[in-house]
Amino acid sequence: MKTPQGLNTICVHEGEVDDKIYKGAVSPIYPATAYAYQGQDESAYPRYFNTPNQANLAKKIARLEHAESGLIFGSGMAAISSAMLSILNSGDNVIVQNQIYGGTRNFIKKELESYKVNYDFVDLNDEKAVENLIQSNTKLIYLETPSNPLMELVDMKKIAQIAKAHNLLTMADNTFATPINQTPIDFGIDIVVHSATKYLGGHSDITAGAVATSKVLIEPILHKARNFGGSLSDQTTWLLERSMKTLNLRVQQQNKNAAELANFLYHRDWIEQVFYPGLESHPQYDLAQSQMKGFGGMLSFKLIKEISATAFLKELKLVKDVLSLGGVETTILSPAKTSHSLLSEDERQAQGITNQVLRLSCGIENIEDIIDDFNQSISRIV
Ligand SMILES: *Cc1c(COP(=O)(O)O)cnc(C)c1O
């Protein structure tokens, strides 16, 4: 087959498993856990991350992320933990962006600490502060952009430059943006990690993870991954491949919906603030333009103090008040009550994550229906 070029074509065709026997139009599933070893360099085995379904889907993710190599994992945290521990050993130091996913923060604070890996949380846009934290044992800078829940961006090019000047590696969690909207490797980031549970899966029914990086850096990650054992079953790998065929279509619609909704909310008198990198009012709008191709399906907003967030959520009929994000359905949640509930009230206030802030994951519905749902909820509670 000719190498697919366009984004939709890559989503549909890259990394297909050829059905040589029956010539079916889609990848067959190879569920075997036992494969021939004689005459093979390496026998296939699901925990080796090298079954036909796993190895082929990894190609699709690598291609989308402009990377040489990829790996598919059983969850986002399996990908993140294996990738981090392929670089960090006891006595090393990692510099981490202030605002990151709660599970990653827990992993760093609980697990890295028990491995005696040192860490510093910092605002990565404060270049001086980052430079000041770099020591001889610093190995890695870890970031997420846009961040959860206030959509703060990190200047990836700048961070990659600082890292390269000091011989450090960089790792970016690209879950929120997806490779459709942003390809960190093009800005000099070394390793990209994903929770494929979110947009890559896209239907709120798969837990998976992924890593994309160079041929050299994938080797130690693969070794850790095999030892930790966080592989994905071939049935779910196949379902993730099926889901990713529509990744570009879904994300384009989610981008469009989020932009329209952000604009709608920005002009409402019951809204105090909207956090969306595609809005001109976003403090890093210029940076968003320079490193993102689309601004994503995630946005947050702050209700004015006269409106109860709890009441607003309760009256929504179409938009689901559930955990997680990235599905074809629009979902909403209170970060203060979920992802950031372990912080103290003071810490939340300091970060601007009050009870009035809600985080929205735009689905692919007709946006008028989402806007109608918001309007009817507000009309019931004011
Ligand atoms: C959900 C999420 C993760 C963790 O992924 P799992 O698939 O739940 O293990 C990591 N990073 C971000 C940004 C996420 O949203």
Per-residue pLDDT reduced to its tens digit, 40-51: 889 999 999 999
Quote the pLDDT of residue 109: 94
Cα–Cα distance, 274 to 37 (Å, whole number): 57
Going by CA atoms, what residue is nearest to atom 7 of ligand 1? Answer: 76
Is 352's pLDDT higher than 80?
yes
Which residues contact residue 203 at a Cβ distance below 8 angstroms, ignoring those fewer than 6 apart? 243, 327, 328
CATH of 247-381, one of 3.30.1280.10, 3.90.1150.10, 3.40.50.2300, 3.40.50.720: 3.90.1150.10
Q: Which pair of structure tokens corresponds to residue 73?
A: 């994992």
The pLDDT-based confidence of 63 (bands split at 50, 70, 90) is: very high
What does the pLDDT read at residue 1? 62
Per CATH, 7-244 and 247-381 having the same topology is answered: no
Average pLDDT score over residue span 179-191? 98
Residue nearest to atom 5 of ligand 1 (CA): 76
Contacting residues for 313 by C-beta, under 8 A, at least 6 apart: 321, 332, 334, 358
147 Cα to the center of ligand 1, angstroms: 12
Counting from 1 in the atom list of ligand 1, the atom nearest the Cα of 208 is 7
C-alpha angle 82/84/89, rounded to 5°?
105
Asked whether the predicted pLDDT for residue 277 surpasses 80, the reply is yes
pLDDT tens-digit map of 196-207: 999 999 999 999
CA of 80 to the centre of ligand 1 (A): 9
Domain chopping of the chain, boundaries: 7-244, 247-381
Mean pLDDT of 257-275: 98
**Per-residue pLDDT averaged across 168-173, rounded?**
98
**Would the pLDDT of 3 be above 90?**
no
The predicted-structure confidence for 95-106, as pLDDT tens digits, reads as follows 999 989 989 999
Q: Give me the mean pLDDT over the 369-382 stretch.
A: 97
Which tens digits make up the pLDDT trace of 9-28?
999 999 999 999 999 999 99
Instruction: Give per-residue pLDDT as tens, 286-315.
Output: 999 999 999 999 999 999 999 999 999 999
Q: Half-sphere exposure of residue 297, counting CA atoms within 13 Å on the CB side?
A: 33
Q: In angstroms, rounded to a whole number, what is the distance separating the alpha carbons of residues 190 and 7?
A: 22
pLDDT at 341: 86
Quickly name the fold that domain 7-244 has: Aspartate Aminotransferase; domain 2 (3.40.640)
Mutate to test the pocket of ligand 1, among 148, 153, 197, 324 (most ligand atoms within 8 A of CB): 197
